[in-house]
Amino acid sequence: MLRVQILGLALVSALMMSVVAAGSASAETELHQWLINHKLLASPVTVHRLSLLLLEDTHTGVRVHCHWFATGTVGPHGLALIKSITLELLGSKDLVLCLYDKVPNLTCKENEMPDVLAINLPWHTQLILKGAEVRDLLLGHGSGRPGWKLTCKNVLGGTSTDTCEEEEGRPVSLSMKNETNGSGVRGTWDANNPRVKCSEGGGEPATGIVEGTVLTESPSSKEHLLISFGP
């Protein structure tokens, strides 16, 4: 009987600890949430994202400025999903508009526009606290890690392709701020991110750099999207 009582007390104690842990985790996630009109989301809602980015492979020296739209959702617990990235808002063309900022000889023909494609979609994101800063952590899906593929015509008459993606265990994230005019939430790719790994990296561990901003907003003018920074 004593053994049964001891086991029973141990089980109750374990259950109480799990409840406390779950409550602590819930409280932590409640600090950083996507909101619509200052209200927590009960289920995912559709959003649009406008990105203005600089993509670079420091080994090849190719730098391109890209402009693209993304569609997806934001939901409870700071989670979000990027489903598609296209040239136009609600468009169907996966190849996005990019212009050269720097083109070394032999790599790509400067007078030819590059083809840039987001790879391994959909991407998941998660709002996290890093130091005193709220960031949106970019996570992969079952198909692979987030990244891009650049294809261009080179001066030798052939085609060059460079694929860059997050390294395993080194996810990138955006610094998140609410827009002062209530138009949405602006994420910034900054120097706090690790570099990504590119296929043309020449044996170097990580040569890809991302810079720029992403504006996430609700498609409805009556729904103001923002994130919470605390209780």
Give the model confidence (pLDDT) of 52-69 as tens digits: 999 999 999 999 999 999
Angstrom distance (rounded) from CA 15 to CA 23? 12
Q: Which of 200, 203, 208 is nearest to 106 (CA)?
A: 200
What stretches in the chain show pLDDT beneath 50?
1-29
Q: What residue type is assigned to position 112 of the chain?
A: E
Strands (DSSP E) along the chain, which ranges? 34-36, 39-40, 45-57, 63-74, 79-86, 97-102, 115-119, 123-130, 133-139, 147-153, 159-165, 173-178, 185-189, 197-198, 208-217, 225-227
Same domain, 102 and 3: no
Same domain, 154 and 211: yes
Sign of the dihedral defined by the CA atoms of residues 93, 98, 99, 102, in that order? negative
Residue 230: what pLDDT? Answer: 64
Same domain, 2 and 99: no
Same domain, 72 and 175: yes
Residue 137: what pLDDT? Answer: 95
Same domain, 103 and 182: yes
* 133-139 vs 115-119, strand pairing mode: unpaired
- Its pTM stands at 0.81
Same domain, 3 and 116: no
Same domain, 53 and 1: no
Backbone angles phi, psi at 7, to 5 degrees: -65, -40
- Domain extent at residue 91: 32-227
Same domain, 25 and 44: no
Same domain, 17 and 121: no
Same domain, 72 and 1: no
Same domain, 180 and 95: yes
Same domain, 91 and 134: yes
Are 47 and 218 within 8 A, CB to CB? yes
Tokens of 163: 């694929």
Q: Give me the number of domains the chain comprises.
A: 2
Residue 20: what pLDDT? Answer: 37
Residue with tokens 């997806």: 72
CB atoms within 10 A of CB 47: 24
Angstrom distance (rounded) from CA 127 to CA 209? 21
What's the CA angle centered on 204, arms 203 and 205, to 5 degrees? Answer: 115
